[in-house]
Amino acid sequence: MDIGTTDMKTPSEDTIALSQWMAGAFSNQKQALENSKLYAHIWVFFRPLPFEFFSGIGFYSEQVYDYDLWSPYRQGVHRMVDRGDSIYIENYGLSDPVVYAGAAREPSILKSITPDCIERRHNCSMIFKKDGDRFLGCVEPGNQCLIPRNGHQTYLVSEVELTQTTWISLDRGYDITTHEHIWGSGAGPLKFEKRESFAREVPTSIPPQ
């Protein structure tokens, strides 16, 4: 695992706010009920990891359809990095994701995730900045977050708006040569509402040695 240089500074106020707002279980049930032909009912979970995992704030995440909660279609591990004028969220993949399915809801599975079983997804960090009463995020520039999909090599374009109670996201993939839209919602962003908060689990200071 490559996690770069660990930073033992106490997290900034913005980093703590972003982390506490992210920490939760989000559902787009309202959106799905209003337009079931375009949107499935999806849950997004961001579960805080213990401080020791990254020597800082980190998360395990899952995205899963409501009808099959034990089979997430996307899983990841994320490290919060304060860059002063912005907050980077480094993204990591799991070497054997199926082993950790359900970790966002089952603490015993979450505890089994170790730094040895993750690998950095280079060029795929999300960059967040505070904008009034919300945070706005996008994938780092350069079109280098590459994802093979539908027989194409695509680059990810990701945009997120986060408030204390909502998570709105739009992920799309474009062909690296033709820039054709290959995958992702053509109907607009997914709109999630927070149903449960895990903010109390976010480590907001450095534990005593």
189 in a structural domain: yes
Q: Which domain holds residue 27?
A: 13-194
174 in a structural domain: yes
71 in a structural domain: yes
Domain count, the chain: 1
For 82-125, what is each residue's pLDDT tens digit?
Answer: 998 999 999 999 999 999 999 999 999 999 999 999 999 999 99
For 39-77, what is each residue's pLDDT tens digit?
Answer: 999 999 999 999 999 999 999 999 999 999 999 999 999
Calpha distance 93→90 (Å, rounded): 10
For 141-186, what is each residue's pLDDT tens digit?
Answer: 999 999 999 899 999 999 999 999 999 999 999 999 999 999 998 8
59 in a structural domain: yes
Look up the pTM and report it. 0.92
Domain CATH code at residue 150: 2.40.128.590
182 in a structural domain: yes
131 in a structural domain: yes
207 in a structural domain: no
